Chain A
């Protein structure tokens, strides 16, 4: 009898705990008193991440290690790619040293938890900016680094030429991504009755795709292009169907509620775009700074701007060093250089990711 009553008690208490949890969490988020009790233990966390990053001397950047073009490990074990370079852009801006980055590899489904828990300072990991993530994940999305869209990759011998021909197909996607929802939406919109399987990592999708378990591999077109370029059977054995069925602005994210840090990261990204617009590259940034008389460029690079009452340096009070843009361009490069370094070799066009005055939508607010 004793063991029975114990079990009953345990079930009852579990249920009670659950109900109490639901009730109390709702009540306590609205009371400011809940935070007062813990202020002593977390005084450091109450300040901006910007201060703790400067104190630590390195930026902890949430990234990945197996997406060609965006972030892969090279033979020396270093992260190479478009996203990895934007991690370095942030470090160059905030700390003046592009190498002061700690790359932290994350699974797709864990990335927001890592951001929320403070395990990383900034998330630069092909992450789509959506309303739900903005609102519910505590993420603060900044200037998108890449405007992408979801597409479909199939084997060249499958005979599929359009997405609408893929009735009843098995579609493989990455778990915990916007890809799942977009594929489900597209399937119901076109009445295609897709079976959508989601996997932890691209390696596992690759295995399933190679074995013929999936008819289509759906993801952002940039990712598919990268994966296709590294496909074991050769890139020509795969094709990416022409249709793109979603908007995927890939943006870096920081934790909500930390304006100083968010502004610092945002302007680091914007500096790469502004530098390209000015025509400043890592190769010519020194000579431009020394020879130009363009006040806008001098301000941007944190150089002395001659005025009526002597020279002055513009400090927009972003809590960044005044020469952050110079450091970003000098150490990493402008947006076009970063794109050309990692994404052009995969066969990706600039497309939407061209400057606003070149047919794209990249547009940095004025630096003044």
Chain B
């Protein structure tokens, strides 16, 4: 090393790259805060000039509207309407996530099928749906499918006389009783079914035969639900057309159907790609090992490939779930009474816009963060433990 290179003269502080980085970052931070402060100041002044509420007092005003398929009275406070909207958002989110995962997984597997027909159908589905804007899909589903392709209530479609399908909604058979009774029945049936499945696994471990735990679990669950119903004297109620509406059973709102269907179709096309990629990412040796111990095709998929694929897919799936939940706000465009629709209605009827929409934003933020926490929890449970 030559001596003149090893001892460079110290640069002045204003040319020191570390100082410059700090100064630039502080300037950027200052600019952001100045902008926010300016906007907030304008908001304050506009609000003061026109006596618009800035707090959450509006939540105690009467709602002055009703929600289809809900008992909310128009004299109940806005607060209650927001809660109902929140629950409707959760309903769509929960059912949407479950159905999109099932459909997406099936299509992801189909895209890897050796059968040309199945594989092509899967590819066409994914490429068609994934490249459409969701709002367009939703509008089409509502205006073209539900409103036009579904029959009018006068000539409603009654498959097996169990369902009533019309453009005023889909009515399905439903039990008679309270939601609490339903929950008790379903939970106890599920617990017993779980025990049955565990017993099957233990027996299979001893005898060396296949356990078929899922099959036994599901069958015993269904049998038990019916049994509990009969034992406790609850009955089923079939829906029927009654004038211009339906009576009995559970009626799903037409816009609920359109929203869930669009969200499931759209999100499943993305999930299918994630599942396909994750299956391909499972080490090839795993499949070969499964072949070597003579597992059947479906056993290989169920027992070896999918469990490892889902471990890889989990973080990406979490993103899709968040997308689905946030996209449910599009329901407001087709008159589904979820959180955004409630916020829009109440703002149109005298609630102040900034606090009402801020509250709505925070609720969505909370839902998304909780979903992230849950996904992260499962991700850590499933993640490959490397030793």
Stretch at the interface among B8-16, B125-133, B176-184, B358-366: B358-366
Whether B68 pairs with A188 at a CB distance below 8 angstroms is no
Task: State the CA gap A361–B41 with chains docked (Å).
Answer: 44
- The A interface, classified by DSSP as helix, strand, loop or mixed, is helix
Which 10 A-B residue pairings sit nearest by Cβ, starting from the closest?
A: A176-B348, A138-B50, A132-B350, A181-B64, A38-B41, A184-B74, A211-B147, A25-B54, A256-B50, A212-B152
Task: State the CA gap A8–B61 with chains docked (Å).
Answer: 33
Closest to B380 in A: A4
- The B interface, classified by DSSP as helix, strand, loop or mixed, is helix
Known: A109-B348, A185-B74, A211-B152. A38 touches B376 (CB 8 A): no
A residues in contact with B137, CB < 8 Å: none
B residues in contact with A200, CB < 8 Å: 332-333, 335
Q: How far is the CB of A115 from chain B (nearest CB, A)?
A: 9
Question: Of residues 317 to 365 in B, which have CB atoms within 8 Å of A's CB atoms?
Answer: 332-335, 341, 344-345, 347-353, 355, 358-359, 362, 365
Task: State the CA gap A135–B61 with chains docked (Å).
Answer: 13
Closest to A136 in B: B350
Stretch at the interface among A28-36, A96-104, A331-339: A28-36
CB of B19 closer than 8 Å to a CB of A: no
Contact of A34 among B48, B349, B350 (CB under 8 A): B48
Closest to B75 in A: A188
Known: A4-B376, A109-B348. A38 touches B44 (CB 8 A): yes
Known: A132-B350, A168-B244, A178-B349. A187 touches B66 (CB 8 A): yes
Selected A-B contacts with CB under 8 Å, 20 pairs? A4-B373, A4-B376, A18-B362, A34-B48, A41-B38, A109-B345, A116-B50, A135-B51, A135-B350, A137-B352, A138-B50, A138-B52, A168-B243, A170-B244, A175-B348, A180-B64, A181-B349, A188-B73, A204-B334, A212-B152
Task: State the CA gap A271–B122 with chains docked (Å).
Answer: 68
Total interface residues on B, CB under 8 Å, equals 64
CB of B23 closer than 8 Å to a CB of A: no
Known: A28-B44, A29-B48, A256-B50. A7 touches B143 (CB 8 A): no
Known: A109-B348, A170-B244. A184 touches B65 (CB 8 A): yes
Closest to A215 in B: B244
Contact of B369 among A14, A25, A168, A169 (CB under 8 A): A14
Total interface residues on A, CB under 8 Å, equals 67
Whether A3 pairs with B44 at a CB distance below 8 angstroms is no
B residues in contact with A17, CB < 8 Å: 362
Task: State the CA gap A219–B50 with chains docked (Å).
Answer: 29
Known: A109-B345, A181-B74. A7 touches B372 (CB 8 A): yes
Whether B348 pairs with A108 at a CB distance below 8 angstroms is yes
A residues in contact with B376, CB < 8 Å: 3-4, 7
Contact of A130 among B38, B350, B352 (CB under 8 A): B350
Scan A180-193; emit 1 where CB is below 8 A from any B CB, else 0.
11001101100000
Known: A113-B347, A168-B244. A197 touches B335 (CB 8 A): yes
Whether B244 pairs with A256 at a CB distance below 8 angstroms is no
Known: A200-B333, A257-B50. A35 touches B347 (CB 8 A): no
Task: State the CA gap A178–B74 with chains docked (Å).
Answer: 12
Whether A29 pairs with B65 at a CB distance below 8 angstroms is no
CB of A26 closer than 8 Å to a CB of B: yes
Task: Count chain B CB atoms within 10 A of each CB in A14, A35, A185, A208 and give the residue with the most.
Answer: A208
